Amino acid sequence: MIRLTRINYAYPAGGEVLSGVTLALGKKTLTGLVGANGSGKSTLMALMAGLYTPTGGSIKIDGRVSPGSEKQIRSMCRLVMQDADLQILGATVEEDLLMGHKRTDAATNAAKAMADRFDLLEMWDRPVQMLSWGMKRKLCLAAALLDKPQVLLLDEPFSGLDFPGMREMRRILIENKKAGLTQVVSSHDLECLVDLVDDLAVLNKGRLVLAGPPESVLDHVQAHGIRPPCSWMAGHGITPWDDGDA
């Protein structure tokens, strides 16, 4: 479904962000893209969404290749950014969900059904600034799913959520997975998602350093600045702050 081949990316101001990233992601899978802050996760997600063009290498998504087919890739993929305020464009929940759609009865009904799924229907005609952080995150996710993408890219979806919000986000990921949607979820913390993902891909300073099923990757993540899940640490007799010298 998604194949990254020797991806390099550098911003115009200079400084290489990604270097030689090669990775294959299966269709209808849930992949965890993990790494410490500044490892290149958000940039790689933007590249997979067709928002950026690689400065080296290629990205192939369901037969469409970047460089060259970014517009087609954008029609297939939806990226939900970490900062919801950067993505919400409508003044109300209704306006944001229907932005880019013809205001037909069918489109309105579909948007209301999606709002209902995310418990946003009661906020339908209210200003978006009245939404909590978690509600804003759900609005962005609802808008992305309303476009019926083949690939959903979620950048740090658990960031800033309380425990009930995290549980709800997990439920949404599970529902999407059951529906056959291909998903890539980035995170600097494995705790919320490690039991849900089919595969993990680990970035460190712009390079792909680990990839595979969680059980083959978890033994090595701590060396790359990632805290292993508590269940894994308990089974290995270490603490979250073990620096490896004890």
Domain boundaries, the chain: 2-84+150-236
Q: Where are the alpha helices (DSSP H) in the chain?
A: 41-48, 70-76, 93-98, 105-117, 133-146, 163-178, 214-217, 230-236
pLDDT, residue 198, reads: 97
The pTM assigned to this predicted structure is: 0.92
pLDDT at 237: 66
Point out the residues of the chain with pLDDT beneath 70.
235, 237-246
**Interaxial angle between packed helices 163-178 and 133-146, expressed in degrees from 0 to 180 and rounded to the nearest 10:** 10
2-84+150-236 topology per CATH: Rossmann fold (3.40.50)
CB distance 50 to 71 below 8 Å = yes
Strand, coil or helix: what is 136? Answer: helix
